[in-house]
Amino acid sequence: MEPSQEKENDHKRLGRELDLFTFSPTVGKGLPLWTPKGATIRRELERFIVDEEIKRGYEHVYTPDMAKLELYEKSGHYPHYKDGMYAPIEDEDEKFMLRPMTCPHHFELFLRAPHSYREFPVRYAEIAKLYRYEQSGELMGLQRVRSFCLSDAHVICSSEEQAVEEVAKALDLIEYANGVLGLEMGKDYTYRLSLGDRADTEKYYKDDAGWEKAEALLRECMQKRGVDFVEAAGEAAFYGPKIDIQMKNVNGKEDTAFTVQYDLSSPKKFDLVYMGEDGKEHGCFVVHRSSIGSIERIIAFLIEKYAGAFPLWLSPVHARILPVSEKHSEYAYQVLASLKEAGLRVELDESNETLGKKIRNAKTEKIPYLLVVGDKEIEDSTVSVDSRDHGKLDAMSVGDFTARTEDEIKKRVR
């Protein structure tokens, strides 16, 4: 789509105007480059969700961006998913693949030692770099790319009942995270139960009875939550049914933002077992889930939802200091140093523009707070505060402004 055809809130347009990300034909299609401002938004999102997952019992891990081809043959991604994978990288007598998923990596991590029934559930989470060979015609800004980071996790359970409990807990986390991000159920996102096709053994793992039971369990889970959802045949993962959280972009195209999946095949393929209370070996059950989905895709949705005017905690710049003239620069630098020492993301406009032009530029960049300093502010040891969201505020000391913004950031006020 040409820039002239993009809607005002289109994340591609705003991404350029606010200098959040870019694409380079020299780097390659679908491979986003994040600017310092865009990287700040990513970092805040990642810190938020990692901290929240750890609070909820997830153990965060790191695994490689690639693996031997045989790992994906074992998992079923190759051949089931090979059209969405990059071609193998050959090294002497071995072939390696850039990973499209982390699940087989996490299963191999689980297999490093024997396990007892007392350990479950085991929740491995990772902000994982993934690579998928999307067709050129399908690439679209940050919403569909070839390189992305997923807030991924795999919960290995000791029983079917525990797996269903973990599905519900994963949905609790998703709904909580959506609330923090300002996304409302029914307005910003909807639920979809994605089902498999028993007749399509090329696309789906063959286990008719397992599919019937797993789909019934997920359906019952959604019904117990009392939320609206639609059912979609043929939209399941190849290894099991899933609950998808769907969102639409400003152009009306719907995409899956987050997902919770019930895995029928991996426990068998990877021989995921544990020693039960009865002293016998038992098979595990696996739930895949993504709490805030692809970092790239959720940022695209947030750019469009907020039209680039992010809540303070997500804003790349919290405040910009605007000295009225050059003679106020020394005091402006003192304010800058104080706010930076407090951990705020602050800029100083040292341009030769008029104060009016400085204010207009800052508002165009959707900066939450503008701090004007002139003769009176120097005399009173204050800053004049103009809020993007609340208009002009009373002049206040640097300490009071710091306390106000720190509280707003801590509470993640929207």
Q: What is the pLDDT of residues 91-126, one digit of tens each?
A: 888 999 999 999 999 999 999 999 999 999 999 999
What is d(CA 62, CA 72) in angstroms, rounded to the nearest whole number? 18
Three-point CA angle 285, 288, 294, nearest 5° = 175
* SS3 at position 320: strand
In this predicted model, what pLDDT tens digit does every residue of 141-186 receive, in sequence order? Answer: 999 999 999 999 999 999 999 999 999 999 999 999 999 999 999 9
Query: Residue for token digits 């640097």?
Result: 398
What is the Cα Rg of the chain in Å? 25
What is d(CA 343, CA 123) in angstroms, rounded to the nearest whole number? 32
Average model confidence (pLDDT) across the chain: 94
CA atoms within 13 A of residue 291's CA, in its CB half-sphere: 33
- Amino acid at the residue 409: I
- Output the pLDDT for position 202: 67
* Superfamily holding 3-306: Bira Bifunctional Protein; Domain 2 (3.30.930.10)
What is d(CA 13, CA 9) in angstroms, rounded to the nearest whole number? 7
Q: Are 317 and 37 in contact (CB under 8 A)?
A: yes
Q: Across-strand partners of 150?
A: 128, 294
Of the two residues 80 and 33, the one the predictor is more confident about is 33
Mean pLDDT to the nearest integer, 30-49: 98
What is d(CA 191, CA 230) in angstroms, rounded to the nearest whole number? 7
Question: Where do the structural domains in the chain lie, given as residue ranges?
Answer: 3-306, 312-410
- Output the pLDDT for position 1: 46
* SS3 at position 391: strand
- Amino acid at the residue 279: G
* pLDDT-based confidence at residue 5 (cuts at 50, 70, 90): low
Mean pLDDT to the nearest integer, 247-271: 92
- Output the pLDDT for position 230: 96
Query: Residue for token digits 């994906």?
Result: 72
Query: Residue for token digits 């997500």?
Result: 314
Burial of 240 (0-12, 13-18, 19+ CB in 10 A): buried
Q: Are 96 and 70 in contact (CB under 8 A)?
A: no
CB atoms within 10 A of CB 91: 9
Mutual angle of helices 329-341 and 398-410, in 10-degree steps: 40
Asked if pLDDT for residue 397 goes beyond 90, the answer is yes
In this predicted model, what pLDDT tens digit does every residue of 203-245 receive, in sequence order? Answer: 777 788 888 999 999 999 999 999 999 999 998 888 889 999 9
Whole-structure pTM value? 0.94
Give me the count of residues in the chain. Answer: 414
- Output the pLDDT for position 251: 84
What is d(CA 405, CA 367) in angstroms, rounded to the nearest whole number? 13
> How far is CA 257 from each of CA 213, 249, 260, 290, 296, rounded to the nearest angstrom?
25, 11, 11, 9, 10
Mean pLDDT to the nearest integer, 389-410: 97
In this predicted model, what pLDDT tens digit does every residue of 348-391 receive, in sequence order? Answer: 999 999 999 999 999 999 999 999 999 999 999 999 999 999 99
Q: Are 53 and 60 in contact (CB under 8 A)?
A: yes
* pLDDT-based confidence at residue 197 (cuts at 50, 70, 90): confident
For 193, the token pair is 């139960």
* pLDDT-based confidence at residue 2 (cuts at 50, 70, 90): low
- Output the pLDDT for position 112: 98
Query: Residue for token digits 């490689």?
Result: 64
- Amino acid at the residue 102: T
What is d(CA 289, CA 125) in angstroms, rounded to the nearest whole number? 9
Mutual angle of helices 36-55 and 295-306, in 10-degree steps: 110
In this predicted model, what pLDDT tens digit does every residue of 304-340 receive, in sequence order? Answer: 999 999 999 999 999 999 999 999 999 999 999 999 9
Percentage of the chain modeled with pLDDT above 70: 98
- Amino acid at the residue 57: G
Asked if pLDDT for residue 396 goes beyond 80, the answer is yes
* 76: region left, alpha or beta (phi > 0 left; psi from -120 to 50 alpha): left
CATH number listed for the domain at residues 312-410: 3.40.50.800
Of the two residues 84 and 42, the one the predictor is more confident about is 42
What is d(CA 333, CA 317) in angstroms, rounded to the nearest whole number? 16
Going through 132-186 in order, the beta strands assigned E by DSSP cover: 147-157
Q: Are 410 and 403 in contact (CB under 8 A)?
A: no
